Amino acid sequence: MVRKKDQFPSSVISDSLYRQNSILGSCRNLWITYKSYNNTGMDAYITVDIGGTNIRCAVFDEKGDSPMRYKKTTTLQNNQSAEKNIIQVIKESWPDGFNVKGISAAAPGSVDVKNGIVILAPNISGWKNIKLKKILEEEFHILSIINNDARLAAFGEWKKGAGQGHENLLYFTISTGLGGGAIVKNELIEGDLGIATEVGHITVDVNGPKCGCGKFGHLEAFSSGTGIENYVKQQLNKGFISDLLKENSTAKEIFSAASAGDCLAIKAFEQAGYYLGIGIANYLHIFNPSCIIFGGGVSQSGELIFKPFRKSLEQHVLSPDYLKNLEIKTAWLGDNAGLIGALEYLKLYV
């Protein structure tokens, strides 16, 4: 029997950015639950999605995309390091009797893919130059591969989600931060060390606000959930009046206020959409994709961000030819994109 508390989370999938008066547009539900299994000697794959708050682990067999086991734990708990908690959740999820082919981990921050090192994960205390590949291989004695979480989510959406059928696509996840990945001619772009496609860290205004990375004027500083929150806080400190917002209002609260007609909240999303359009125009000029996919919580704000985004994109793109035949979609796989992407990526190496 499947225990509800261990169920692989469902995802609400949006098929359209452009439907008016709806956060999610045209939707369908993707319910994925793990399967019962026996000790069969079949191959199995372990994937791990590491976040600043939670670590999620899923075990897949060789037959499909639905996990046999799914477990979530807190990233930092019991006075243990994140590395020890990762090892613990893998041990608790290990499928006895299966031939485990490898472990694939989706890690936040900058990841040296070639050497399996998390260079810096700002949202996990103490995570700097963590040799995660070495740690996992010494513990479990099997192949372990590490990649950036947003890049693996892009890979998952390309293989099993909204990007299927496209040879060239860009994926952006807009939530607390802004990350993403690129598929070019059916290849995941990683760069020499594997630290390419830090899509939130292009400069769109040299005089812009400070980004979480410490630099100024990055796309993430304008268009992420944190950027939206910081804009509201800044305007309130300048004396802007709002009946619905406080200095510590969250992006979700700002969305609710904007939906209720609050002028400051609407301006926050307009700025986010405007700079998102500038950033995406730059990426269109470089990659010329046939598909752009948006994921993450902020992307669910619908027309509040995508109306100013489209206007800005059309204003800043070099030529209308870049928009011809371009499909712009919301992600299909939701929070499961990283785990599914990690699975598909691992299959390239085993």
Strand locations in 115-241 (E): 117-120, 128-130, 144-148, 169-174, 178-184, 187-188
* Helices and strands, counts by H and E, the chain: 9, 15
Q: What is the dihedral of CA 36, 42, 43, 45, to 10 degrees?
A: 10
Q: Which CATH superfamily is domain 164-331 in?
A: ATPase, nucleotide binding domain (3.30.420.40)
pLDDT value of residue 63: 80
Q: Let me know: does 282 contact 172? Beta carbons within 8 Å.
A: no
- For residue 21, what pLDDT is reported? 29
Q: Match 């209720």 to its residue by tokens.
A: 260
Cα(309)–Cα(213) distance, integer angstroms: 24
**Residue 311 has which token pair?**
């206007």
- Contact at 8 Å (CB) between 330 and 162? yes
CA gap 248, 20 in Å, rounded: 29
* Whole-number pLDDT of residue 39: 55
DSSP state of 206: T
Kindly report the length of the chain: 350
Residue type, 213: C
Q: Splitting the chain (350 residues) into consecutive groups of 10 residues, what average pLDDT does each group show?
A: 37 31 31 48 93 93 84 89 95 94 95 95 89 98 97 97 98 94 97 92 97 94 97 96 93 97 97 98 98 96 97 97 96 93 96
Tokens linked to 142 = 């099997």
Q: Are 77 and 57 in contact (CB under 8 A)?
A: no
List Cβ neighbours of 337 (8 Å cut-off, separation of 6 or more): 152, 153, 154, 156, 157, 161, 295, 331
pLDDT at 78: 80
Q: At 314, is the secondary structure helix, strand, or coil? A: helix
Instruction: Return the amino acid letter for 54.
Output: N
pTM of the model: 0.86
Decide: residue 243, CB within 10 A, 0-12 exposed, 13-18 middle, 19+ buried.
Answer: exposed
Q: Where in the chain is the domain with CATH 3.30.420.40?
A: 4-18+28-153+335-346, 164-331
Decide which of 3.30.450.40, 3.40.50.300, 3.30.420.40, 3.40.50.12780 is the CATH code for 4-18+28-153+335-346. 3.30.420.40
Phi, psi dihedral angles at 178 (to 5 degrees): -140, 110
